[in-house]
Amino acid sequence: MKIKLRFFGQLKELTGTEEAEIQIKENTRVEDLIWLLGERYPNIREFLNHVSFSIDNEYASKDTVLADNNEVGLLPPISGG
């Protein structure tokens, strides 16, 4: 199955990417995805521990299991206002 990734802020700059797709196995959790992302985007590896994740517009904990066609946001610490 596959999921869509969205990159923001510094992560968008570092990866040079706004959106991407990634193939995952069934029962992949957000914390497994972090490892996959580190492999695919080595230059954001050091940031991934401080990144929050969203799934389909809701903040998601690291033990959340991903589903096919989820949209996963990689969110640096937020600074709106």
Partner 1 sequence: MVELTSKKISTDAVLEQVEAHSTGGVVLFLGRVRDHAEGRPVNKMAYEAYAEMAKVKLAELEAETCQKWPVKKIYIVHRTGLLELGEVSVAIAVACAHRKDAFAACRYAIDRLKETVPVWKKEYFSDGEAWVKGVVPEVKKATPSSQ
Contact footprint for partner 1 (CB under 8 A): 6, 8-10, 12, 50, 52, 54-61, 64-67, 70, 73, 75-81
- Please state the closest distance from residue 23 (CB atom) to partner 1, in A: 17
Nearest to partner 1 of 35, 59 (CB atom): 59
- Please state the closest distance from residue 56 (CB atom) to partner 1, in A: 4
Residue count (the chain):
81
- Please state the closest distance from residue 51 (CB atom) to partner 1, in A: 9
CA distances from residue 4 to 16, 20, 79, 81 in whole angstroms, order as listed: 16, 6, 24, 27
Q: Which residues face 20 on adjacent strands?
A: 5
Nearest to partner 1 of 24, 41 (CB atom): 24
CA distances from residue 65 to 6, 49, 80 in whole angstroms, order as listed: 18, 18, 28
